[in-house]
Chain A
Amino acid sequence: SYVLTQSPSVSVAPGQTARITCGGDNIAMKTVHWYQQKPGQAPVLVVYDDRNRPSGIPDRFSGSNSGNTATLTISRVEAGDEADYYCQVWDSTSDQGVFGTGTMVSLL
């Protein structure tokens, strides 16, 4: 089945930019979604269809998808952005959804 690989953790200083990557074979041909999960809470959708933001999500969150890597970028990182982030795609070959391994974002 299709595999999505994320770095386990990213550390960033407040006000700086965090980039979270999601690697997959020719992932540019798939539609990528990103979720934020804080401890003890349900996940929240932050980017859908590679680069679109649901209502209520700040424009500091943006997404891109090219080649073998999709990227979630968080600009001007705030303390409230500390969370786990997961990418997700639909794999039409195996007819199932797939989540990435998750990346924990922490502030320096």
Chain B
Amino acid sequence: EVQLVQSGAEVREPGESLKISCKTSRYSFNSYWIGWVRQKPGKGLEWMGIIYPDDSDTRYSPSLQGQVTISADKSISTAYLQWGSLQASDTAMYYCARLRGSYPVSAFEIWGQGTMVTVSS
């Protein structure tokens, strides 16, 4: 069974940096796009970006480009989402999810359990 296991909840202060992870198993990590979805408290799903681990081709939501960095480590089949300087507005649940196929048009087929990030002074 394909699995995506995300790192645990985080609490940070504004201005701090953070990197959360999504450890995958039981499939060929290099061959599927994997992405991140944000959900602010009480709000809907927001597409953040995706990466193709084989060549690190990355697509970002224009509204988030420059605010976050998506990366992948093929050696340990893990994807990452990182911030250089967190803001209170980054408080949200973050889900990683693997796409069903090898094209960005594919659906998010397998989801991680989510990582809650709280930014507060």
Query: What is the 8 Å Cβ interface bit string for chain A, positions 1-34, against chain B (1 contact, 0 not)?
Result: 1000000000000000000000000000001010
Residues of B at the A interface (CB closer than 8 Å) are 35, 37, 44-47, 49-50, 59-62, 95, 97, 100, 104-109, 111-114
B44 touches A54 (CB 8 A): no
Whether A96 contacts B95 in the complex (CB less than 8 A), given A42-B113, A90-B105, comes out as no
Whether A99 contacts B109 in the complex (CB less than 8 A), given A48-B100, A90-B104, comes out as no
Q: How would you classify the secondary structure of chain B's contact residues: helix, strand, loop or mixed? A: strand
Tally chain A residues at the interface, Cβ within 8 Å: 26
Number of A-B pairs, beta carbon distance below 8 Å: 64
B109 touches A96 (CB 8 A): no
A43 touches B47 (CB 8 A): no
A43 touches B111 (CB 8 A): yes
- Nearest chain A CB to B103 CB, angstrom units: 8
